[in-house]
Structure 1
């Protein structure tokens, strides 16, 4: 009799446990597919919640992959990295995961940490130009410019029309103070991608480094022709005009920039510098105050704040 009762109760407990497990798996499926639907309608924030709850119920590689994508879509790469680290522990030889982690490390300003992942990817497939490109990018972040340049030379040998590789090597050569080599690579990038704003911006910076300010300003203006809202072009051109003591022209340029985007904090800061050097102390103080106010408002969003050091040296305060 005792054995019969024990068997009866054990059977009921197993059935109850099985029902709970089925309910949990059903809940997991609902959360997972709700998250997938949320991604399809561009609700990545809701997708993150769904995938996170689903993974509390069950570790699932596919769901983890979806969660990483959702974090990238919500501009939270730092939250994606721990999930990706777990995935790499599950599949340590997955080169695609290693390169994805490298991308996320670049996004979080930790590019030097991507060197081992990129090295493994290159060793696994030496003919992969993307892996070589990312390794060069990681080497540059680590301050190893010579290694970065060598990597990129191999990359453009593998893929002669890789405009981004020429562009990155131009950046590296500029880091190494090799202006002529940098200029040649920037020109190659422009020939391959004549509508690429970054190529003209870089060539302008290189020309400025070589002392050809007129040509540099021409490149910055070319960028503004391609994209009238390019903030870097406004800042570089305005800074060049200030350097050449063309203060009225610089002020007019930043007026134009601020007409298009009145939240452009760095434009206020640079216009303040131009006004201060042009003798308009009151206008400079007003612009600097606006720049500070906008920077404070944007700080929570992680926006870059203007550098006020030059203005302090100029004697506004």
Structure 2
């Protein structure tokens, strides 16, 4: 007997392929309902091999996921992996659905399976990192994001993930390095701008935060939280009208948005409209009785209307809800001092200083009320190194301060529980005069010691960056020019710092500089500003 293939059997695969292609085209165009219909027809054909069915089911699951039909999408991915147990992509896709359904344990297992099946699947590592973050395992997440960066060097997604983790752990400048790189790779990647804006705000670089939020809002104009964040940045820079507009827009988008109501109330207080502020704050507290910031602002509003007792009660409530709320202690102390309750005021100022040891207003307020300097309350952790002292806030953050540069506090990144320890201060010379390098021991994590260097621009009163110098036995590479430096950390991530603008030179000057570029920058190799232990000059520790 001769076995042949009839015409109908030959036509079926062609029809399936056409319908699957139609579905894929619709999926790419965002026509998800059309895609689902096309995949439905493709799956109706008899005799499809299991692997082919699994592929179409996975694609249909993606379309349903995009339509927020999460249960149906998960069912398609589950059917796909039952037909093809080695289908890494379907496990990855189902993991994404589980993440969106807030089922991170199941998501992690799916991503884990995808990685086991396909060890070079970069997106699965990044997704597993997202699941680890939701499970509160940031160290595990960071390791996976780093692997994803290795596998997908042109992708902004894992860089953004590493930046988010670093910022969440207080390593703000590390976060900036990752996010800057993510934005360099994809100038339209909104999550990186949003995360970088949050870091800029934490570093009190509010103009830069507002600029990043401008970009994100242009991409997502209906997101109330973005207007709140930008309003807060404007308010910190005392740009009252833009701040009021942003908070008002946020309230328009979400009338029950508590941060937006609080923000608008703060601006109404600036506009001397305590009545409107109280209206918004009462509404905010009715929505969230644990909103410490709402009580804080309502306390100020009540004091402005002459209700000193109500103001004290609200500020006390804010402190009860947020015991580390330094500003609440400060304002309550101020109001109590005005009311003749001097001892209670001093106690409040003292507590606020413990929480926020470098706040100039607090230092002055405490001295005026008590007659004591802030040094009676707040002491550095170790003797000064070239004038630099390290202070620890009640929230666990470390800050370096030098009385010679009172407007230049430096928030130090640390690893583990050990306090930061200043090692060396090196002011640069010639072209880079006004730039200083503050090297410090930043602790230990997982048995690995770390040292960092803060690049400080004294002329602008700004930290240009904080970069790793030593990680365990490895050292970062610092490549200097006359006008800046490129730092490449031990993971291969590079950051470029243009610290000074190039200036026009005579040809003879340029030639001499080419012969020995470091002689003009560092005065022939003299370090300047040696460390407490008589440490080496800059050539001893930056150019090895």
TM-score range for the pair, normalised by the shorter chain length: 0.5 to 0.7
> Is residue 390–residue 401 contact of structure 2 (8 Å, CA) maintained in 1?
no
1:148-227 equivalences in 2 (<5 Å): 148-227=243-322
1:64-83 equivalences in 2 (<5 Å): 64-83=159-178
Q: Which moved more, 1:204-213 or 1:244-253?
A: 244-253
Cross-structure match for 1:91: 186
Cross-structure match for 1:290: 376
Q: 1:84 to 1:189 in 2, by over 3 A?
A: same
* Cα distance, 1:251 vs structure 2: 5.2
Q: Which moved more, 1:159-168 or 1:104-113?
A: 104-113
Q: 1:223 to 1:65 in 2, by over 3 A?
A: closer
Q: Distance in 1 between matches of 2:152 and 2:273?
A: 54
> Is residue 330–residue 348 contact of structure 2 (8 Å, CA) maintained in 1?
no
The 3-state SS of whatever aligns with 1:195 is: coil
The 3-state SS of whatever aligns with 1:298 is: strand
Cross-structure match for 1:301: 398
Q: Structure 1: which 5+ runs fail to align?
A: 1-25, 277-283, 306-317
Residue by residue over 1:232-273, the C-alpha shift from the partner in whole angstroms, topping out at 9 and shown as x without a partner, is 433332222222222244456679x69xx9888589986765
* Cα distance, 1:199 vs structure 2: 0.8
Residue by residue over 1:19-45, the C-alpha shift from the partner in whole angstroms, topping out at 9 and shown as x without a partner, is xxxxxxx99x8xx89x9599777464x
Q: Distance in 2 between matches of 1:161 and 1:219?
A: 21
Q: Which moved more, 1:117-126 or 1:211-220?
A: 117-126
> Is residue 149–residue 169 contact of structure 1 (8 Å, CA) maintained in 2?
yes
Select the structure that is richer in helix. Answer: 1
1:147 aligns with 2:147: no
Q: Which has the higher contact order (CA 8 A, sep 6+)?
A: 1
Cross-structure match for 1:59: 153
The 3-state SS of whatever aligns with 2:379 is: helix
1:240 aligns with 2:366: no
Q: Distance in 2 between matches of 1:216 and 1:112?
A: 32
TM-score, normalization by structure 2: 0.41
* Cα distance, 1:204 vs structure 2: 1.0
Q: Distance in 1 between matches of 2:143 and 2:220?
A: 37
The 3-state SS of whatever aligns with 1:71 is: helix
Q: 1:50 to 1:161 in 2, by over 3 A?
A: closer
> Is residue 238–residue 270 contact of structure 1 (8 Å, CA) maintained in 2?
no
Cross-structure match for 1:129: 224
Residue by residue over 1:190-230, the C-alpha shift from the partner in whole angstroms, topping out at 9 and shown as x without a partner, is 22211111111111122233443222112122234445564
Residue by residue over 1:72-98, the C-alpha shift from the partner in whole angstroms, topping out at 9 and shown as x without a partner, is 133122222232122123222232232
The 3-state SS of whatever aligns with 1:201 is: helix
TM-score, normalization by structure 1: 0.65
> Is residue 263–residue 294 contact of structure 1 (8 Å, CA) maintained in 2?
no
Q: Distance in 1 between matches of 2:287 and 2:214?
A: 27
Q: 1:120 to 1:199 in 2, by over 3 A?
A: same
Select the structure that is richer in strand. Answer: 2
The 3-state SS of whatever aligns with 1:302 is: strand
* Cα distance, 1:103 vs structure 2: 1.8
Cross-structure match for 2:460: none
Q: Which has the larger radius of gyration?
A: 2
CA RMSD of aligned residues (A): 4.1
The 3-state SS of whatever aligns with 2:340 is: coil
The number of residues matched between the two structures is 264
Q: Distance in 2 between matches of 1:119 and 1:262?
A: 36
Q: Structure 2: which 5+ runs fail to align?
A: 1-118, 382-388, 403-544
Q: Distance in 1 between matches of 2:322 and 2:236?
A: 28
Q: 1:212 to 1:126 in 2, by over 3 A?
A: same
> Is residue 268–residue 291 contact of structure 1 (8 Å, CA) maintained in 2?
no
